[in-house]
Chain A
Amino acid sequence: MLRYLVRRLLFAVLVLWLVSTAVFALLRVSPVPVERVIGGPRATTETLDQIRHNLGLDQPVLVQYWGFLRRLAQGDLGYSYVNNTAVTRLIADRLPTTVWLVLGAAVIWFVGGVLIGVLSATRARGPLDRAATVFVLVGLSTPPFVMALVLLYLFSTRLGDLGVRFFEAGPPMQEHFLQRMILPWIGLAFLMVAAYARLTRGSMLEVLGEDYVRTARAKGLTERRVTYRHGLRAALTPVVTQFGIDVGVLMGSTIVTEKVFGLQGVGQLVYQSIAMGDTPVVIGVTLLVAFFVVLANLLVDVAYSLLDPRVRLA
């Protein structure tokens, strides 16, 4: 177990290093000159040279790369080109909004998806199953940004309290938290509910066909007990695995939702920073999101090996 953990940790570090190197390389070949971003369009050549020197951009690429890695190892993500604030500070300000957004949506999609999946699996071919199948197909076919736009359109005129005026900047823990977050949550969760309903239904049907479920039935257990105690427990394993990964990935995929609903989270931060050529912020957020993804994968793998004795720890 320890060896397995160490190997997974090393792999996680390797992935983070690869991602940071890739982002560093990518932004170095970017045709947007950094000194222009800082100096503005009317800066003189001397000013531009001075800026390049201050940022160390006149040094060889490898020296820059080494400095980048060294600061990274110390948790220093540098300063924003645009307003000279520490990147860690900028991210820390925006992170709560994104975390709340993802967590709220995650609860909705997990509960909703599993519920629909179990109900339609236990009533396969019935009217409820058919309705669920239509819902799943529509859900999987609706691009999240279209769903968000439709929600915003419907509710911003029809229901004042849920309307756009609540989607203002600021930490979401303040007043009107629920009103402000409910539409973004639904918008973000809609497609995922469909995906999880499909996943749960399939997993559940597979498990309910297993021999031990027949045994449980033969023992005379109630259908309810068979479904939930014996069936659902086993059927949830792949769902939970997927859930862990999706929560990690979603941390970096809230850009659209945040943009449509005007939430000032990490997604908006990176979107605006890209538009302004604010490289340190882009690198910082990308690394943060990669960190979440790697962490989620690690947790899922470890949990999986603990839950399922069949998984070899080699």
Chain B
Amino acid sequence: MSSYSDLEAEAVPGGAGPEPVRGRSPFRLGWERFRRDRTALLALAALALVVLFATAAPLLAAVTGHPYDVTYPDTGLDLNGMPVGPGREFWLGADQLGRDVLVRAAYGARISLLVGVAATVVATLLGVAVGVLAGYAGGAVDTVLARFMDITLALPYLLVAIVLASTFQITAVAGSLALTVVVIAFFSFAAMGRILRGQVLSMREKEFVEAARSLGAGPLRIMRVDVLPNLVAPVVVLASLLIPTAIVFESTLSFLGVGVRPPMPSWGSMLGEGSDVFQTAWWLLAVPGVLLLVTTLSFNLLGDAVRDAVDPRAERLATSRAGTVVEDGEG
């Protein structure tokens, strides 16, 4: 990326550039790089639409006159009991019980975004806490925590999540949401924790940490003042890539009927409940399926762009997108 080296060259003190050197924070640099990434802006626009869709859910319910949990057997189902397709009454068709797919999809968007973000926040807090503690403490604490993270990563998470969700037979919507968030966070934090642990492990041997230590700073102060600020970039990158994973996780649990409880719709449960009539009612597959794909794809694109912008060195080779490869083995 030539733009990056340009920025660096500009920042060299005493450079012979015509403009005076301006101080720019790492995030300002990141934002400038991000703004030039057309794919990222497209993904951001798509996500803005999804957020708008989710926000407008009550509005859509009011305009169509169809609350998400009300069935319309007379207008929503035909004489054979099959759901009616997209039309004037039901803009995106009705589901197998005669409910409005458009309104339900909008409420489902709320669930996906809510669970995705909430689970990511919880997983990030947990991952940072465990990762930093394991990396900084070392010794027995590190061994136990690292092994624990290995185990949670190696568990067949879907199976355990189903056992967990069905053990606590929660029927309330709020309770099932909370449990879903906790289950997802528990199985996602280790991915972040392990990487942060490695970073802290190497960081604590660095000179600036040693300097802080020799000046008499305690471990807590070192972690807060010296270690954590250096982890902001990787945490932001890892967190932005956690969101789509969490959304897929939630939809899978709801698809299997152990995620968010009915009557609250989720894209996953819409796909699960409608799967018997897909052959005649394709919109029951298409609407939540496309929404789910667009959302996760946009978050993934955005996460990649955030990584490129915030931390241009990080795993550039391993995961770089087309057109941004710097080295290709010939150099």
Tell me, in angstroms, the Cα distance from A247 to B204 when the chains sit together: 36
Q: Is the CB of A26 within 8 A of B163?
A: yes
Task: Give the residue of A29, A143, A152, A286 whose beta carbon is less than 8 angstroms from that of B159.
Answer: A286
Assuming the A-B contacts A137-B300, A290-B155, are A153 and B278 also in contact, with contact meaning beta carbons closer than 8 angstroms in the complex?
yes
- Tell me which residues across on chain A come within 8 A of B275, comparing CB atoms: 149, 260
Contact B297 A141 (CB under 8 A): yes
**Nearest chain A CB to B312 CB, angstrom units:** 16
Q: Choose one: A129, A143, A198; the contact of B296 (CB below 8 Å).
A: A143
Given the complex, which residues of B lie within 8 Å of A125, measured CB to CB?
A: 322-323, 325, 328
B317 CB, nearest partner CB in chain A, Å: 5
- In contact, B156 and A293 (Cβ under 8 angstroms): yes
Whether B318 contacts A202 by the Cβ 8 Å rule is yes
A11 to B292 alpha-carbon distance, docked (Å): 40
| A91 → chain B closest CB, angstroms | 14
Bound Cα distance from A294 to B150, whole angstroms:
11
**Cross-chain contact of A143 among B251, B285, B315, B319 (Cβ < 8 A):** B251
A124 to B323, CA, bound (A): 9
For B23, the chain A residues whose CB sits under 8 A away are none
Q: Closest A-chain residue to B167, C-beta based? A: A30
Known: A32-B169, A153-B282, A286-B163. 11 other contacts (CB 8 A): A121-B329, A125-B322, A153-B278, A153-B285, A206-B317, A251-B156, A252-B158, A260-B275, A282-B163, A286-B160, A290-B156
Given A145-B255, A149-B278, A213-B329, also A31-B156 (CB < 8 A): no
User: Interface-forming stretch among A49-57, A64-72, A267-275?
Assistant: A267-275
A130/B322 in contact, CB under 8 A: yes
Alpha-carbon gap, A152 to B156, bound state (A): 25
Complex CA–CA separation, A143 to B147 (angstroms): 28
Bound Cα distance from A203 to B329, whole angstroms: 11
- Contact A133/B322 with A149-B278, A149-B285 known, Cβ cut-off 8 Å: yes
Query: Are A27 and B167 interface neighbours, CB within 8 A?
Result: yes
Q: Provide the residues of chain B in CB contact with A144, threshold 8 Å.
A: 252
Nearest-neighbor residue (CB-CB) of B296 within chain A: A141
- With the chains together, A27 CA to B163 CA distance in Å? 9
Query: Would A143 and B155 count as touching, CB distance under 8 A?
Result: no
Q: List 5 A-B contacts (CB under 8 A).
A: A27-B163, A30-B168, A141-B293, A143-B292, A270-B162
Q: Of the candidates A133, A205, A245, which one forms a contact with B328 in the assembled complex, judged by CB atoms under 8 Å apart?
A: A205
Task: Report the bound CA distance from A213 to B321 in whole Å.
Answer: 24
Q: Is A107 an interface residue (CB 8 A)?
A: no
Bound together, the chains give a CA A121 to CA B319 distance in angstroms of: 11
Q: Mark B150-175, 1 if CB is under 8 A from A, else 0.
A: 01001111111011101111000000
For the complex, what is the distance from the CA of A15 to the CA of B275, rounded to whole Å?
Answer: 38
A289 within 8 A of B: yes
* Total residues of chain B contacting the partner, CB 8 A: 49
Cross-chain contact of A255 among B244, B256, B331 (Cβ < 8 A): B256
The answer, yes or no, to whether A40 is at the interface (CB within 8 Å) is no
Residue pair A157, B167 in contact (C-beta under 8 Å): no
Q: Are B252 and A143 in contact (CB under 8 A)?
A: yes
Q: Are B248 and A143 in contact (CB under 8 A)?
A: yes
Q: When the two chains form their complex, are residues B315 and A252 in contact, meaning their CB atoms are under 8 A apart?
A: no
Q: Assess the A150–B285 pair: CB atoms within 8 A.
A: yes
* Pick from B158, B163, B289: contact of A253, CB under 8 Å: B158
Q: Give 3 closest A-B pairs by Cβ, nearest first.
A: A252-B156, A202-B318, A208-B329
C-alpha spacing A42/B142, complex, angstroms: 54
Within the complex, the shortest CB–CB distance from A13 to chain B, in Å, comes to 13
B-facing residues in A221-260 (Cβ within 8 Å): 245, 248-253, 255-256, 259-260
Q: Is A146 an interface residue (CB 8 A)?
A: yes
Partner of B156, one of A11, A137, A150, A253: A253
- Contact call B256/A149, Cβ cutoff below 8 A: no
- Chain B residue nearest to A260 in the complex (CB): B275
Chain B proximity of A251: nearest CB distance (Å) = 7
Residue A23 at the B interface, CB < 8 A? yes
- Neighbouring A residues of B248 by C-beta, 8 Å: 143
Q: Is B227 an interface residue (CB 8 A)?
A: no
A264 to chain B, nearest CB (A): 17
Give the distance in Å from the alpha carbon of A54 to the alpha carbon of B109 in the complex.
49
A-chain residues with CB within 8 Å of residue B328 when the two chains form the complex? 124-125, 205, 208
A205 contact from B162, B244, B329, Cβ within 8 A: B329
For the complex, give the distance between the alpha carbons of A202 and B156 in Å.
26
Nearest CB on A from B105, distance (A): 14
Please tell me if the beta carbons of A256 and B279 are within 8 angstroms of each other in the complex.
no
Which residues on the B side are within 8 Å of A19 (C-beta)? 155
Cα A203 to Cα B327 in complex, Å, equals 13
Contact B252 A18 (CB under 8 A): no
A138 interface residue, CB < 8 Å from B? yes
The distance from the CB of A19 to the nearest CB of chain B, in whole angstroms, is: 8
Most chain B CB inside 10 Å of its own CB: which residue of A29, A141, A157? A141
Partner of A149, one of B164, B289, B325: B289
CB distance from B118 to the nearest CB of A (A): 19
Are A274 and B252 in contact (CB-based, < 8 A)? Answer: no
* B154 to A: closest C-beta gap in Å: 5
Q: How far is the CA of A275 from the CA of B292 in the complex (A)?
A: 26
Does residue B271 face the partner (Cβ distance < 8 Å to A)?
A: yes
